[in-house]
Amino acid sequence: MNTIKSIALLAALSALLIWIGGMIGGQQGALIALGIALVMNFTSYWWSDKIVLSMYKAKEVTYEDAPDLYGDVQELATNAGLPMPKVYIVPEQTPNAFATGRSPSHSAVAVTQGIMKLLSRDELKGVLAHELAHIKNRDILTGSIAATIATAITYLIYIGLFFGGGRGGRGSNPIALIAMLILAPLAASLIRMAISRTREYEADKGGAQICGNPLYLANALRSLSGYSGRGKFTVSEQAADSTAHMMIISPMLGGRMAKLFSTHPPMEERIAKLENMAMGRS
For strand 106-112 and strand 59-61, is the pairing parallel, antiparallel, or unpaired? unpaired
How far apart, in whole angstroms, are the C-alpha atoms of residue 103 and residue 126? 21
Helix (H, G, I), strand (E, B) or coil at 97: strand
For strand 59-61 and strand 97-103, is the pairing parallel, antiparallel, or unpaired? unpaired
Sheet holding 97-103, edge to edge: 59-61, 86-90, 106-112, 97-103
Query: Could you give the dihedral angle defined by the CA atoms of residues 258, 259, 260 and 261, in that order, rounded to the nearest 10 degrees?
Result: 60
How far apart, in whole angstroms, are the C-alpha atoms of residue 247 and residue 262? 11
Of 92, 131, 202, 275, which residue is the catalytic one?
131
Helix ranges, the chain (H): 2-55, 67-80, 113-118, 121-136, 139-163, 174-211, 214-227, 237-242, 256-260, 267-278
268 catalytically annotated: no
Q: Kindly report the three-state secondary structure assignment for every residue of 128-191.
A: HHHHHHHHHCCHHHHHHHHHHHHHHHHHHHHHHHHHCCCCCCCCCCHHHHHHHHHHHHHHHHHH
Q: How many residues does the chain have?
A: 282
Determine contact, residues 274/221, Cβ cutoff 8 Å: yes
Instruction: Give which of 228, 221, 230 is closest to 250, Cα–Cα.
Output: 228
- Which residues are identified as catalytic? 131
